Structure 1
Amino acid sequence: MSDASVFVAGSDPKVVALGGGHGLAASLSALRKVTEQLTAVVTVADDGGSSGRLREEFGVLPPGDLRQALAALCGDDEWGRTWAEVLQHRFDGKGPLSGHAVGNLLIVALWERLGQHVDGLDWVARLLGARGRVLPMCAVPLQIQAEVIGLDPADPAAVSIVRGQAEVAITTGEVLNVALVPNDPPACAEAVEAVRSADGIVLGPGSWFTSVLPHLMVPELAAALHETEARRVLTLNLAPQVGETRDFSPEKHLEVLAAHAPDLRIDVVIADDAFVADQPALAAAAATLGAELVVADVARNDGSPRHDPERLAQVYAKVLDD
């Protein structure tokens, strides 16, 4: 399949994809084959690696997940492939640049030059020829805070507080719930408007507690997700994630989402057929969210827990056009 839309001509929908990291990149790689009117809304809670260092030093939003979303929207021509590789390139060595991604530095440089997060990201997108727009979820950097059980060997039932996205992602305990600090952060106004005016919303796949659920806890963004007339699609992961969702069934993912956003209605839940052990149970869990369950082969053929862009695009095209 080429990058051309799989919709019929003239029916390009406005689609907003929410998430972060590799999960959001997977949905964007598929959705760019479905529509030219694509907006990514990206979580801004990363505090590890290059993003964490830049966040601490300059007080900026962590740029890493924003960078990955921009790279995923690059075209498949020589220009797009080259810029995607440059954006993702990390410096080696032992000096101060070691570990930094080129794209992170470029984004922060434009933020310093222009003084506006959205303007800076739009300039990067123009440079790359990105097929869509990338926006931050919030106007301020966030911290993830989780209640985790099972970290104390002497008291396995004790609940501990784990702070920071990087720490929550690798916790050896069971995450019970997550919250944002601050708990009422200002949403990015352009992101809220994109959600309200969308024809389709795609949430997930991705790190459930640190990339997917945070969008539902930003008051203005959550209100827009509740009130939008867009078709809301939830894409499940292909496997539990070591740390955050170890041993989670697909149904458990939906239960956790419902616990964090009990009033949110979902129209469609997409799951890979190889990950669904009990389809009736998953269908019942989806129904509690108001959703239809769509089970399809959306994984790559290499055995890895990664979505295949072309297969996922076909499913998105169908469910968003219904």
Structure 2
Amino acid sequence: MSIGFLRLALKALQKQSRSRTSYRVNQWFKWLSPGLSVKRWLLISLGGMILASLGLAIWIRLTPIFWAIKFLRRILGVITDIVPYYISGPLVIVGGLLLLLWGQTRTVSSITQVLRSEGDEDLIDVLLAHRRLYRGPKIVVIGGGTGLSTLLRGLKVYSAKITAIVTVADDGGSSGRLRQEFGVLPPGDIRNCLAALADEEKLLTELFQYRFKAGDGLTGHSFGNLFLTAMSDITGDLERGVAASSKVLAIRGQVLPATLSDVRLWAELADGRHIEGESKITEAGGSIVKIGCIPANPPALPAAIKAIKEANYIIMGPGSLYTSVIPNLLVPEIADAIAASDAPRIYICNIMTQPGETQGYTVADHIRAIDAACGRPLFNAVLVHKKSPSELALTRYAQQNSHPVFLDREAIAQLGRRIVIANVMHEDETGCVRHNSQQLARVLWRWYSGGHLNNSKFRIQNSK
């Protein structure tokens, strides 16, 4: 009984040892991966050692080296007399390689323990991920609200060269109060994007979304809004405040306001009413026929225009059509830069209609609204969710006069847009419908990659 147990234990230890050794060998071979910029520096270091040794030999006229080599030759002669050279030579080589491997392993382990925060990922994997992310395409995402932060949360695993261009037309809630009391641009949407692009996203989101429940003047304010307001005041304006915050939070990519002008939205409704203020437009509950901003034609942030011109991929949405997506496009320079770009441009249509903004809208209606606001077509394709929500979700949203956005293929074809159909929805246990950040980013990445692989930037990639 005991002998059988020992045999099983030995087999288990051997299997564990082999798997550990295989893992270590695999990790070491990763250091030879192309594009890691490690091999060249190791070769340069080796060349430096050889050159330094040669210089030392020249400096001391080879005298100590000559006697050292002579002494070493005598020792090697004695060894080869005892153990044949064809045995002693390979043994010495193996011993040297083992010592080198052991020393380098311990060195890398020591460095890894310092650099990695959680201790659960090897340094080589961190370096490979870093190289992959910073060699990704330059992606510009335009929008606002929770839809934009949802997309960024999934997109940041594919590229670190992300620029989020965010509307600054919000005038409700904590952002609206800060806008009135301090004269700052609304930080709410920017706050959400910064949290979504941060590495420690979960903790940072909880911190930035924390709302004070007591305190004179603090009640209702979120910590993130106060943080950005303070940074803007310290640095001089919102652009520099966001840039400084990005460094503090170590985010992947950058977040830029569409304009630094104090913009207020206005809308004309089908019943003739003229509504001013982003929060009041949705509350009015009418059908929007025209939208604009005060002041008209606000100047764009130069960094935002530069990002659009250099972009390899431009994404609009998801988010509230009239109060999150279109406000960015009311900045003429931004619309002009998007129209002039040769990059693939795609619009992510909302899954459900929004009361007070898009009630009764089809996918084609969303496209027409954007075209009308900008005076021209800005994107080549539209991403539409495929599967219908559950009965629970349909009932819940029907009570709010909200329904799934209908896909009218023929109308979209007449508008000259291509359709990307994919399952990108997340539905929770209460029937609340949102875009799934991982699935959405995966579909967008496949569509972009598929277009480049087939030498066609606008190829449609369906996802089942």
TM-score normalised according to structure 1 size: 0.89
| Residue equivalent to 1:70 | 194
Closer, same or farther: CA 112–133 of 1 in aligned 2, 3 Å? same
Q: Over residues 250-306 of structure 1, what are the superposed CA-to-partner deviations in whole Å (9 max), with x where a residue is unaligned?
A: 222112122222322322210001367764x33x34334432101110001434320
C-alpha distance in 1 between matches for 2:183 and 2:246: 22
| 1:64-143 → structure 2 map (5 Å cutoff) | 64-75=188-199, 79-93=200-214, 95-143=216-264
Q: Distance in 2 between matches of 1:9 and 1:28?
A: 14
Once the two structures are overlaid, the 10-residue window that deviates more, 250-259 or 290-299, is 250-259
The reply on whether 1:315 has 2:447 as its aligned counterpart is no
1:292 to 413, 418, 428: 418
1:33 aligns with 2:166: no
Change (3 A) 1:288 1:142: farther
Match of 1:246 among 355, 359, 364: 359
Equivalent position to 2:267, from 146, 160, 171 = 146
Instruction: Using the TM superposition, name which of 82-91 and 8-17 deviates more.
Output: 8-17
Comparing 16-25 with 93-102, greater Cα deviation is found at: 93-102
SS in 2 for 1:176: strand
* Alignment map for 1:38-77 (pairs within 5 Å): 38-75=162-199
Q: Which moved more, 1:186-195 or 1:259-268?
A: 259-268
- Between 258-267 and 194-203, the greater mean CA deviation after superposition: 258-267
The equivalences for 1:253-292 within 5 A come to: 253-274=366-387, 279=407, 281-282=408-409, 284-292=410-418
Separation of aligned partners in 2, 1:288 and 1:132: 36
Match of 1:237 among 337, 350, 359: 350
The whole-number CA distance in structure 2 between the counterparts of 1:146 and 1:10 is: 41
Alignment correspondent of 1:165: 278
- Tell me the CA shift for residue 190 of structure 1: 0.5
Q: Give the deviation of 1:314 after TM superposition.
A: 1.3
Q: Secondary structure at the match of 1:159?
A: coil
Distance 1:56 1:97, change over 3 A: same
Deviations 1:180-202 (A, max 9, x none): 11111111111111111100111
What is the deviation of 1:130? Answer: 1.5
Unaligned runs of 5+ in 1: 150-157
Structure 1 or 2: more helix by fraction: 2
Question: Percent identity at matched positions?
Answer: 36
Q: Deviations over 1:70-123 (max 9, x none)?
A: 111122xxx432222111111112631011111111111111111132221112
Give me the whole-angstrom Cα distance separating, in 1, the residues matched to 2:406 and 2:172: 36
Corresponding letter in the other structure for 2:342: E
Contact 2:265 2:292 in 1 (8 A): yes
Q: For residues 125-157 of structure 1, what are the alpha-carbon distances to aligned partners after superposition, in whole Å with 9 as ceiling and x for unaligned?
A: 1222212210000011211100012xxxxxxxx
1:19 equivalenced with 2:175 (yes/no): no
Check whether the contact 1:51–1:62 (CA below 8 A) recurs between aligned residues: yes
Equivalent pair of 1:266/1:289 in contact (CA under 8 Å): no
Q: After the TM superposition, which segments of 4 or more aligned residues of structure 1 sit over 6 Å from their partners?
A: none
Name the amino acid aligned to 1:129: A
Gap change, CA 1:247 and 1:110, over 3 Å in 2: same
In structure 2, what residue type is equivalent to 1:291? Answer: R
Counterpart in the other structure of 2:10:
none
Match of 2:40 in 1: none
Q: Are 2:427 and 2:433, in contact at CA under 8 Å, matched by a contact in 1? A: no
Aligned in 2, Cα 1:278/1:88: closer, same or farther, shift over 3 Å? Answer: closer
State how far apart, in whole Å, the 1-side matches of 2:319 and 2:134 are. Answer: 31
- Structure 2: distance between partners of 1:89 and 1:116: 24
Q: Helix, strand or coil: the match of 1:300?
A: strand
Task: Confirm or deny: 8 A CA contact 1:74 1:80 kept in the other structure.
Answer: yes
With normalisation by structure 2, the TM-score equals 0.62
Change (3 A) 1:298 1:127: same
Assess if the C-alpha contact under 8 Å between 1:258 and 1:289 holds in 2: no
* Residue aligned with 2:315, SS: strand
Residues 116-125 or 199-208, more deviating: 116-125
Q: CA RMSD in A?
A: 2.2
SS of residue matched to 2:384: strand
Q: Which amino acid aligns with 2:443?
A: V
Return the alpha-carbon distance in structure 1 between the equivalents of residues 283 and 151 of structure 2. 23
> Which segments of 5 or more consecutive residues in structure 2 lack a partner in the other structure?
1-125, 389-403, 452-464
- Contact 1:254–1:285 at 8 Å: present in 2 too? no
- For residues 415 and 345 of structure 2, the distance between their equivalents in structure 1, rounded to whole angstroms, comes to 11
For 1:22, the aligned partner's letter is T
Distance 2:274 2:246 in 1: 38
Equivalent position to 2:328, from 215, 219, 224: 215
CA distance in structure 1 between the partners assigned to 2:155 and 2:180 by the alignment: 33
Q: 1:258 to 1:33 in 2, by over 3 A?
A: same
What is the number of residues matched between the two proteins?
A: 306
Local SS of the residue matching 2:425? coil
Name the stretch that deviates more: 42-51 or 254-263: 254-263
Structure 1 distance, partners of 2:254, 2:134, is 20
